[in-house]
Every structure is written in structure tokens, then in C-alpha cells.
Chains A and B, each alone.
Chain A
């Protein structure tokens, strides 16, 4: 078990690579690509070794803690949840870095690109393995910063610059809520230990936080006349942070615009890793959520609604990357829904949701990289200008089909045949069914199943429009170089076969993340604190329910096949400015307009302008009075300076004489 001593290197190596690449990147091979690749490869190997070690001995998690300052610590916690996340992040990041060598080969600023992506990888890895919520928050902000930098990578483009700003500001709303949650939590913990903290106890470490859950749940506050538990407030604030970071409704607006960055960035940050930070946060603090009445249900509702809401918009987008962006939002919704279903299945929900996170990372990174391959070769990402790409780029097309099958969730229930997406999405939908059966509330299930149909519709629409049929415009094109197709193929194989092999052990592994030598949580008891009743997931739902996700996926495939391949129905009748539904979807429910016109312009901009005007007048007044007094004083006093040297000497001599007289007088007195 020598590997656990190397755990601190996991985030440190990419951070070091960032420093080197940032300063001398242009002089290193492949425009600075090589050092980050080796650093991340090393991180990946260490994480993999640690994960394998943990798999054999899941109770002995790695937990190292170092004093930082005052009552805070820096620490490493690698439990099953963190281990699989670490391995996934490092692995996807490694593949994308290799792919980037080819994809970014023409970009003059590629050393900056590699520096920023390795900084991102470092902060994401440190986010995953922090053992206290403060360190997690710091990494969380760093990740947000990298996202900002990389969205605005082509800062010469005004649209990229404004997209970067939008992403930063929107996620900031969530970040502030997260910070507020941490502050409330810390205040409560401080009160619970009566203000005296024993040496060596760090209140914000997860094990300490979790040990106080029942006490925090018992603290009540009254907000707007409602009696709310402090735990509910804290968890909702945490979830607010997750909503911002993971692009949940209503803070999802930044994610589609984030596609202004290089496609590899979209794949790395806005599909596979950073946006899952919110999901990870909820999973990490899951014991708090399950003990908080209402919070978990809100997580489930927001997740389910987002899954459906984003999928409808994905249907009408014409931009390759935007379809994938909405697809990401929708899948993140599924993950949140999966966590919310902890209300009925307990800690198992964490396993299910994290497994979907991992499988999503594989197939969504793959989808983006395929799209990047197409864009790199063809030079456009408008699907209306494409078509028939499969003939030019067979490897890309094949991997894209694999990724689409995984996203739509094709597989045969009851057997071990199926794509990774099938094994990860099905349990979420089944849990939603269990929730409906148990709580008599069918909305999450309904949303999830309709979203599954829409998922299949939009992804096969994309597939048929881009890769099948005849080219709609003249574009030159060629298959991408090996540095791009090799990562594609690896991800393609993972997207198809990974799930079938690991689904059972991985779910069990991650679900056990709260029972080990670091924390030992009694999840059912906590659920009772939150007034939830857990049922054991038995897997004997009606056959129709088990088949339902696959059936809707096939229906979606058939519909798109008929419309976009055989062209049996003329879509131009529906796709027009006269169709109200189309217009609503195409304009993204006018949410941007509502946010900008009503909120940003009317409220923030004009409000700020008004407030700014009055504050300005007040401060201006003070400043003006001071400057007026100074000018006037100077004006009258400057007459003293005659410029005649004798006047000065008289003044000096008079002064000296007076001084002498004074000293004489003083000496006589004493």
C-alpha cells in the first residue's frame, strides 16, 4: 500500500505541469502538450492503483490530514466515491490532452491552452480528494476560474469573451449560495461545540460534519413563517451551488454558450468533468441531504425537470455542439434525479448516480470529441451544412454511433447486454418508478421517461443529419490524425462495453462509500431523521417498466429514421417561424430574454445605474469639497512664495532668532 503515500501527487503533478507549461511551454515539445500529458498520465496511474487497492479493501480509505491555519486543515480523503471520480477525471483528461495535441496543432496559443487545461485538471482532482468542505470550495472556485479562462480562450472573438463572462457570472450565483451554506454550517457547528474546539479537530472535515447531522437537523429557523431545519437550509444552499456548477434549471443558461471555447474544452470541462462537480458535491454530502426533509425531494424535482426541459431544446438546435450542450444539461438532470431518489433507495442512489456520471463522462466526452473531429476536418458546426460525413470519416462516424447508442441507452433488460448508458440510466429511471410507487408521486418518473424519448430523438436527429445522406454543401474533409482517432476509439469501446462489465461491482463499491474507517454512517437512521422511508431495491418491477426506457429509445430512433433518413415527412412544414412551439423551443423558452431584459436590464442594470448615480453624487460631493478647499488654500498661500531670496532669508533668520529666544526663555524657567 505504498501508493497512498503518493496520493498528494495526484493534484500536484498537473499543477506543476501548469507552472512549467505556462512559463516555458512554447519551448517544450508539441507546443507544451507533452509535459501535461505525462503529469496527468502519472496522476491517472496513481489513482488507478489506489482504486484497485480500495476495491480489494473498501473499508480502509486513505485519509491524511495536515494542519493549515487556525482551525482549518488541508487533507486528502480517497474513499470509493473519490477514487472512482479521480480515476475517471484523470483518465478522461488524459485522453482529451492526447486528442488536443492533434486538435490544437494549428493554434498559435496552444501552450496557454495546455497550461490552462492542466491547471483545470489539477483543481478538479484536488476538489475530488479534499477531505474538508473549505478545501473543496477553494478548488471549486479554481475550477470555475479555469472554465472562464478556457471558454474565453479565443478572447479575440466577442462572442467567446461574453460567453466566458456569462458563465462566470451565472455560476457565481451558485457559488455565493455554496459559500453561504458553508458559513451557516460552520456557525452551527461552532455553536454545537460551544465555541471550544479541541486540538486536532477540524470542524469542516466531512467526518466531523457528518457526526453532527442529527444535532443540526434539530436546529430550527423560521423563514417567511415556515419552520425550517438548519440542515435543510444548508443542504439547499449547497444544492444552489450545485445548480450553478452543474447547469441545472434555472442556472443552466451559461452551459450552451460555453461551447464558444475549443471543442476539447467543451468535452473536458463542460461535459465530462467540471459540470459533474455539482453532482459530486451532492453525493459527497449525501448523508446531510438524506437527513434533511424536503431537500432531497427538491434535488429530485429540479433534476427531473432539467432532464426534460433541456432535452426539448436539444431537439431544435442546428449547431452540432449546442445539441450536445443541451444533452449534457439533460443528463446532469438525470444524475441529480438519481441522487434525489436516495429518498427511497438510500445510499444506493449515490452509486447509481455516480455510475451514470462516469458513463456519461465517457460517452459525452466521446460525442464532443467526435463533433470536434468533424469540425476540425470540415470547418463548420452547422448540421444543415453537413450530411454524409460518414463516408469521409469512417472511424469518427463509427465511434459517434457507439456514443449515441450509449446516450440513448440501448440494451436488453435482464441480461448483461447493453451499452454503458443503458446500465447507468436504467437504474435511475427504475428508482424513479419505485419512488412513484412508494410516494404516490409519478412526476419524476414521467419526466424521466419522456426525457429518455427526447434524448433518443435529438441524438439520432444529429446522427442522421450529420453523418448520413448526401453532403448538403461542398466541404472538403479527411479523417483526423491518429492522435485524435485513438482516444476516440478507446472512449468508443468504453461507451459500449464498460457498463456491462463493471455495473454491479461499481454500484456496490460506491454505495459503500459512507461505511469505512473514515466515516461510518447509518443511512437508514439518517433517512428517518429526514422522514424518509427506505425500500430495498429489489429489481422486480413489472416487465414493461424494465423495458420502458429501451422502448422509448427505439421509438425515438424509428421516428428520426423516418424523418431524417427516409425523409418521409417534410419537416419544413413544422420548422418555420410560424410554428409557436418551434419558435418557443428555438428561442430557448425566451429564458435569455427574460434574464437579460427583465432581470439584467430592468432590475440590475437600471437599478444599479440609479443607485450608482446617487452614490456618485454623494461621493463626488465629498471629493469636490476636498478638492475645492485644497485649491482655494493653495491659491491664497502661494502668494507667500515671492521668489525673492531675501524674503526667504529674513524668514529663516527671524525663525532662528525666535527659536534662540525661546530656548533661552525655556532654560531660564527650568
Chain B
């Protein structure tokens, strides 16, 4: 059996990759993908602890989280689509309509 620490390390690595991508990228699609990465790293944690503690509620929670992530991704990409149609770009730096 793989020890719990390995799972946690994997989760931390994926989260850090997501975080780095979220901060460094300008493309809206990439940013959304990074958000997904961060979300799923948390899911790994949930499932790992669930298995480790022999408690099913963690896995149920992960299922909810995945469903939510799917909904969020659908809305996020729909927004990106309409922005692209309107502005012909999905570079988030250029979306500063409400800035001073």
C-alpha cells in the first residue's frame, strides 16, 4: 500500500503547478485549466484521507466537488467563448473595462 504521504506530495505538486500557472498565464483558457488543476489536487487529498481513515464521506465529498467543478468549467468556458466573440481575444490583461 502506498503511504499517505505520497498522495499528499502528489497533491501539493499538482496544486503548486496550478497556482504557478494561474499567476503566470495571461490566456483565459489556460487560467481556467490551472484552476481545474488546483481543484483536483484538493480532490486527491479528500480521496486519500478517505481511504486512509476508512471513511466513505471523503469520497462522496470528492464526487460533489467534481460535479461542481464540471459546472464551473462549463460556465467559465461559456464566458470565455462570449468574450472571444465580442473582443476577438481571450487575453485577460485586455479585459479592463471596469478599471479606473
Tally of A-B residue pairs with Cβ under 8 A? 23
Q: A645 contacts B19, CB within 8 Å? A: no
- Verify B93–A644 contact, CB threshold 8 A: yes
Q: Which of A619-667 contact B (CB under 8 A)?
A: 638-639, 641-646, 649-650, 653
Query: B17: shortest Cβ distance to chain A, in Å?
Result: 14
On whether the beta carbons of A653 and B23 are closer than 8 Å, the reply is yes
A641 touches B23 (CB 8 A): no
* Cross-interface CB contact of A642 among B31, B95, B99, cutoff 8 Å: B99
In the complex, chain B residues 47-91 whose Cβ is within 8 Å of any chain A Cβ = none
CA A529 – CA B26 in complex, angstroms? 98
What are the residues of chain B within 8 A of A642 when measuring CB–CB? 99
In the assembled complex, which residues on chain B have CB atoms less than 8 Å from the CB atom of A645? Answer: 31, 92
Let me know if B93 and A639 touch, CB within 8 A: no
Cross-chain contact of B100 among A641, A649, A653 (Cβ < 8 A): A641
The yes or no answer to B5 lying at the interface (CB within 8 A) is no
- CB neighbours (8 Å) of B99 from chain A are 641-643
Chain B, residue nearest A646 (CB): B23
Chain A contributes a number of interface residues (CB within 8 A of B) equal to: 11
Q: Which residues of A contact B19 (CB under 8 A)?
A: 653
Min CB–CB distance A497 → chain B (angstroms)? 87
Q: Nearest CB to that of B94 among chain A residues?
A: A643
Minimum CB–CB distance from B84 to chain A (whole Å) comes to 16
**Cβ contact within 8 Å between A646 and B100:** no
* Docked-complex contact A638 and B24, CB < 8 angstroms: no
Is residue B98 within 8 Å, beta carbon to beta carbon, of the partner chain? yes
Contact B23 A649 (CB under 8 A): yes
Which residues 257-274 of A sit at the B interface, judged by CB distance below 8 A? Answer: none
Which residue of A642, A644, A645, A649 has the most chain B CB atoms within 10 A of its CB atom? A645
- Scoring B24, B93, B99, B100 by chain A CB atoms within 10 A of each residue's CB, the highest score goes to B100
Q: Kindly report which residue of chain B lies nearest to residue A650, judged by CB atoms.
A: B23
Contact with A along B7-23 (1 / 0, CB 8 A): 00000000000010011
B residues near A650, Cβ cutoff 8 Å: 23
B residues within 8 A CB of A644? Answer: 92-93, 96
Q: How far is the CA of A643 from the CA of B94 in the complex (A)?
A: 9
A130 CB to nearest B CB, Å: 64
Q: List residues of chain B with CB within 8 A of the CB of A646.
A: 22-24, 26
In the complex, are the beta carbons of B98 and A643 less than 8 A apart?
A: yes
| B92 proximity list for chain A (CB < 8 A) | 644-645
Chain B residues whose C-beta falls within 8 Å of the C-beta of A641 in the assembled complex: 99-100
Q: How far is the CA of A471 from the CA of B63 in the complex (A)?
A: 103
Question: Residue of B at shortest CB range from A635?
Answer: B100
Please measure, in the bound complex, the distance between the C-alpha atom of A650 and the C-alpha atom of B23, giving whole angstroms: 7
- Say how far B69's CB is from chain A's closest CB, in angstroms: 18
Of all chain B residues, the one with the shortest Cβ separation from A640 is: B100
B34 — nearest CB in chain A belongs to which residue? A649
A244-264, CB under 8 A of B: which get 1 and which 0? Answer: 000000000000000000000
Residue of A nearest to B93 (CB): A644
CB pair B96 A643 closer than 8 Å: yes
Q: Across the interface, which residues of B come within 8 angstroms of A653, CB to CB?
A: 19, 23
**In the complex, chain B residues whose CB is within 8 Å of the CB of A638:** 100
A to B CB contacts below 8 Å, 6 in the list: A643-B95, A643-B96, A645-B92, A646-B22, A646-B23, A646-B24
